[in-house]
Structure 1
Amino acid sequence: MDWNAIYPGPEEPTAEQLSAYVSHPLWDELNRWICEVYSLAPRYTYSRCSMGRGWNVKYRAGSRALCTLYPTPGAFTCLVAAPAQAEALLPTLSAYTRELWNSAKPMNSVRWLSLEVSSPQVLEDVKALLLLKQKPKHAGQA
């Protein structure tokens, strides 16, 4: 069933309901990693945007957006604004992420990457991009 139909707003889903809907082990792993490394709590927001209508999960450090997670059944997408410095990481990233980087047009010195987190390698790419974008709150937790 469509996520937007299950939770059309204003009823906010719980973390457990989101996890059950996505039903992908990397979902919980990425959420836990972001919370631990950045000492952030997820913010559930209802979006009407074309990227993913319905509830999504945003992580913000102060006024800066770290990333947004868009849940789908059995999968999820992470939207991250990768800074220009990410180009130095390209040789270490998956072919999938490199392809997204090369196809994204720079806007204000960032490239918006919408990564379908479908494998441990893409999960590690997301973590590397987030670490480049924002340093962890606690040294040594990356």
Structure 2
Amino acid sequence: MEWNLMYHKNNPPTLKDIDDYVNSELWGKLNSNLQNTYCVQPKLSYSQCSMQPGWNIKYQKSGKSLCTLYPMEGFFIALVVVGNKNRQETEFMLPLFSKYTQDLYQNTVFSTGGCWLMIHVTGLEVLEDVKSLIQIRMNTK
């Protein structure tokens, strides 16, 4: 069953419900990394966005978005925004990323709001890309 149909706006899932649904060690690894590295806690949020409706997890530090995680069955999507301030460093580091992440970046339109990467985290290499993109985002002054 699709995630957005399982938990309606007035029926939020627990973090365990999300863990069970995603059922991927990569999910736990990224959540632990974010909490330990940036001293942040997950924030459950409901989105009515037509692109990815339903409950998701947001991570923010000092009012700045690190990423938003969208539960999927067997994997998850990490939304990381590459803004103007970190575009140059991201493009410098791009050759070190997986082919998947390189292709996604090159095929995603860069607009005034930045480059909104909806990254399907299905393997360890892509997980490392997400962590690197978040690190670039957080180190940008």
TM-score, reference length from structure 2: 0.90
Q: Is 1:126 aligned to 2:130, yes or no?
A: yes
Structure 2 unaligned spans of 5+: none
Q: 2:26 — aligned with what?
A: 26
Shift, 1:108, TM fit: 3.0
Taking only the aligned residue pairs, the percentage that are identical comes to 38
1:86 maps to which of 86, 90, 98: 90
Instruction: Give the number of aligned pairs.
Output: 135
Shift, 1:109, TM fit: 7.1
Q: Secondary structure at the match of 1:134?
A: helix
Task: Report the aligned-residue RMSD.
Answer: 1.2
Q: Which has the larger displacement, 97-106 or 116-125?
A: 97-106
Q: Is 1:107 aligned to 2:111, yes or no?
A: yes
Counterparts of 1:109 and 1:5, CA distance in 2: 30
2:26 maps to amino acid: L
2:105 maps to amino acid: W
TM-score, reference length from structure 1: 0.90
Q: Secondary structure at the match of 1:106?
A: coil
Q: 1:58 — aligned with what?
A: 58
Q: Is 1:76 aligned to 2:80, yes or no?
A: no
Counterparts of 1:88 and 1:110, CA distance in 2: 16
Shift, 1:14, TM fit: 1.3
Counterparts of 1:51 and 1:4, CA distance in 2: 11
1:110 maps to amino acid: G
Q: Secondary structure at the match of 1:10?
A: coil
Detail structure 1 runs of 4+ shifted over 3 Å in the superposition: none
1:30 maps to amino acid: L
Q: 1:98 — aligned with what?
A: 102
Counterparts of 2:13 and 2:133, CA distance in 1: 27
Counterparts of 2:55 and 2:63, CA distance in 1: 20
